[in-house]
Structure 1
């Protein structure tokens, strides 16, 4: 400040006159100066605001670039030259796999008919006898009653002549949506959670987005043979990673139905037919092989209203290990990609 005062005094005393305290005082008040202190303060404020805006812009640009890099790396919005890259039209088609559990089927249809995004409900029917007219009429009335949209979801039974787990992934003609929500008849996903998962799938329509994560890891035996181990929920919880989401509750693109039936190695379909197991592992391998990206696990509460199914049988884990190993040998490579990313709806969370 002393240097600034000295320069100001020199300029005042050197412009044709003796030094005058009045002139100094007037200059400080802006009488003789070109700019008032108020104007100078306003200009300083503007320069400071510009600096802050520049800093904020740089920070925003940095995080935008970082987010895009992370998204690309983790499989969000991937740009693969694939036939399944189109965004979903409308809502989604609920594809319910059932077998001799009409009570559960009625509950499941009633629930998913009440979800806003449900455009159609397809029931994969693999029993010898077709569904009765009584069952069909009941489900149609339930849909009309439960649906909250003006356009009521279409109901259709996809009939199959024989029992085969591959039936749940047969191509469906005349679909109005790109998104398929594959679900078992005894699994209920709350509508709010389902809509959130659908929104997540729309950001990455090439991959599978589901609620039941599973994992794999490499296991080398002493003789040098390489085997893979299938890990259930507790393995996912303990390791904090996953590489599959099961088709018992998952979104995927409708074109994967055609790929599973017509482009996947037929030896894998034969394996599923004979073993009556592991069609969900086969679908996970198919999608991973097509995209080179991991699935996305949506963390949300789901309810199983029926029995726990085949996973409760003795030897189930060993069979899954063998399926995974055999499928990888048939593929000739390991397409699964591990990740630790999960999507979670934070609107109901206390902490971000």
Structure 2
């Protein structure tokens, strides 16, 4: 071949014949096994690049759909993804744990010890409705356990909210001197892991007017008699089966402290009297109150909660019948059913393998 490999160069095939150089003939000439593998490799690389482009386009399409869905979840749920509380508000720093207890000091000790260990717990209030005040030995024990279990330099403040009578309305009495708007209401026999509790708190911060909790329930249309619609109280299994709920119970839920005042001073006294007489349904009354204010559903947060008690009001005979009755009696006091049902659940994606 002539220097530089110009088109005027010649090819010598070894038999003395000299032919003019032809790029087309060079490409068409057999190149052996090595050349065949190279061609195959180039073909595979080309197809791989095409597949990568297709997958990239599909991923972009899926991402776009997720973004569009996320933009719609807020309006459907009544969420405000731009928190209404200012970044400097102390309400964004933590929450107060409001524990309802009655003659179960062993469970109360476990509950206080657990929630004192949660980093965002700013204060712990115990709703005490027994005839005798809490013994000093119990107070001392709980204060010591808070000092030892809390992982913060600022230790949660412990306070007993004393009541003269045993009444379930006591758990929603207003509390003076709160430094945070967020209240986590919980029974003394329920423990929510700290990481799960903090996730629920972040959900509540996006929509501080809404109840955010772990125990969902539903009101189902039952029947209609003489123009009056009756509803049936749906327990956990109906929620599990359908994925639909309209309430989260205050036995494990976040809500704004303003609802304590509204429950005590704004809600009809007939509901207070009903709860006092029946010794039941204060949680349904609170759900109706919040729904009536927000005109939106609550938010059910997925998370494991641990029951450490062996009995309670829900274990008594006839419990579901009483719940049905009070649900319909309470609804009759409103001009329309304030409860809003939903199928949406808040899930911490960091705890999910697939989402």
Partner residue, 1:73: 76
Alignment partner of 1:134 is 2:137:
yes
Partner residue, 2:54: none
Query: Which TM-score applies when normalising by structure 1?
Result: 0.79
Query: Which TM-score applies when normalising by structure 2?
Result: 0.78
Q: Deviations over 1:31-69 (max 9, x none)?
A: xxxxxxxxxxxxxxxxxxxxxxxxx99998886565333
Partner residue, 1:249: 252
How many positions carry a matched residue from both structures?
Answer: 297
- Give 1:79 deviation, angstroms: 9.1
Instruction: Tell me if structure 1 keeps the 8 A contact 2:92–2:205.
Output: no
Q: Aligned to 1:149, which of 152, 156, 162?
A: 152
Partner residue, 1:339: 342
Residues 58 and 302 of structure 1: CA distance in aligned 2, closer, same or farther (over 3 Å):
closer
What RMSD over aligned residues (CA atoms) do the two structures have, in Å?
2.5
Distance 2:241 2:301 in 1: 17
Detail structure 1 runs of 4+ shifted over 3 Å in the superposition. Answer: 56-66, 78-82, 221-225
Alignment partner of 1:312 is 2:294:
no
For structure 1, the residue ranges without an aligned partner over 5 or more in a row are: 1-55
Residues 303 and 59 of structure 1: CA distance in aligned 2, closer, same or farther (over 3 Å):
closer
2:250 is paired with a residue of what secondary structure? coil
Listed as ranges, the matches of 1:107-256 within 5 Å are: 107-221=110-224, 223-256=226-259
Instruction: Tell me if structure 1 keeps the 8 A contact 2:83–2:205.
Output: no
Alignment partner of 1:301 is 2:304:
yes
- Give 1:271 deviation, angstroms: 0.7
Residues 59 and 348 of structure 1: CA distance in aligned 2, closer, same or farther (over 3 Å):
closer
Listed as ranges, the matches of 1:75-94 within 5 Å are: 75-77=78-80, 88-94=91-97
Instruction: Tell me if structure 1 keeps the 8 A contact 2:83–2:206.
Output: no
2:280 is paired with a residue of what secondary structure? coil
Partner residue, 2:286: 283
